[in-house]
Chains A and B, each alone.
Chain A
C-alpha cells in the first residue's frame, strides 16, 4: 500500500457520459498530480494541484477538469466521454514539488464503450 488511494479501481461507461475519479494523497503530501496512461501515448501529465490551487497544466482536454479540496483529496472529472478516453488514470502525490519524487496510486482503469 503506497498510501495514495484511488477509487474506483475499474470503471466501465458509455460514450457521452461523465465520470469522476477520486484520489486521496499520502498523509502529509500537499501536491496531487494526475496522469493518463495509454498504450499509444504512454504516461501523459494532465494537471497538478498544490494545497488546493492549480499549479501546472499539461495535455488536459477541455472536457476534463479537476479540483483539490480542503482536505487535500482530489477529483478528476471526465465528461462527454469518447472511446479514445479509455485508459489508466493515475494519481500521484508529493510532499512539495515534483522533484521530491512521486508516490503513485494504483490507478483507475476507465473503459468507454
Chain B
C-alpha cells in the first residue's frame, strides 16, 4: 500500500522569501503524485501533479515540484511567497490501479509580513 510523509507540521516564512515543503512517498512502482492546497473553511484545490516525463512540474499560483525517484521525494517549491499563500498543503500519492489517493498529514504554512 502506498503512503505519504510530510515531515513538517508547521512552517513560517517571511513574505517574499522562498519556500520548500517536503514530501516523501512510499510506493513500489512509479507513483502518481499530487500537491493540493486547502484554505481555511475550503475544500482542497489541485496545485500540480506528476505522472511521468519531466521530473520538474509546474503548477498554478507559481508553484513547482520536483520528483526525485532516488529520494522518494516530491517537494513543493515557490521562489517568492505571498501572504495569500498561507494555507495548508497536502501531498498525495496514487497507485497505478487508480482506486484512491493517499494523503499526507499536511503542512500548515504561515506567512510573516
Q: Which residues of A contact B (CB under 8 A)?
A: 2, 4, 33, 35, 42-43, 45, 48, 55-56, 58, 90, 92, 96-107
Contacts and interface: CB of A to CB of B under 8 A. Distances in A.
Contacts of A106: 41-43
Nearest to A41: B105
Contact of A98 (B43, B51, B101): B101
B8 to A, nearest CB: 14
B62 to A, nearest CB: 19
A55 B99 contact: yes
15 contacts: A2-B45, A42-B103, A43-B103, A56-B99, A97-B94, A97-B98, A98-B94, A98-B101, A99-B51, A99-B94, A99-B95, A99-B96, A99-B98, A100-B98, A107-B43
Q: Which of A33, A42, A58, A90 has the most CB of B within 10 A?
A: A42
B45 A104 contact: yes
Nearest to B99: A56
Interface residues of B, number: 25
The 8 closest A-B pairs by CB, nearest first: A97-B98, A104-B43, A56-B99, A43-B103, A99-B32, A104-B44, A106-B43, A99-B98
B57 to A, nearest CB: 12
Nearest to B106: A42
A98 B103 contact: no
Nearest to A4: B43
A43 B90 contact: yes
Interface in B62-113: 90, 94-106
B25 interface: no
Given A43-B90, A98-B94, A99-B51, A48 B44 contact: no
B100 A48 contact: yes
